[in-house]
Amino acid sequence: MADLYSPQADNDLDKIEASDPDLYEAALVACDLVFRSTGKAQSLSAAIRTEQQGIVFRLPVAGMPPWKVFWRIDPPSNAPIVLAVLKHGS
């Protein structure tokens, strides 16, 4: 089974957990949506085509603009993977 989080996402979440518990909880809720209801998460996400990752989805963290969860469908497993949790846009 593929990892659910990339090393970058693990690092991002560790930093957020240490500095902002409310943001951390909101980010975990967004990540949970990606894993439990991928279609719903996809409908709420913007899609970005990248050279390295292919299509990457950008899901807003509810109530925490400008934070976003970046994720994609892992081709070998066809399962979602969270790539990063970052400030992006507004």
Strand segments (E) across 1-90: 46-50, 54-60, 67-74, 79-87
- pLDDT, mean of residues 74-84: 93
Return the SS3 of 67.
strand
pLDDT digits (tens, 9 = 90+) for 26-60: 999 999 999 999 999 999 999 999 998 899 999 99
Band of pLDDT at residue 2, cut at 50, 70 and 90: low
CB of 48 closer than 8 Å to CB of 42 = no
CATH of the structural domain 7-87, one choice from 3.30.2310.20, 3.40.50.300, 3.90.180.10, 3.40.720.10:
3.30.2310.20
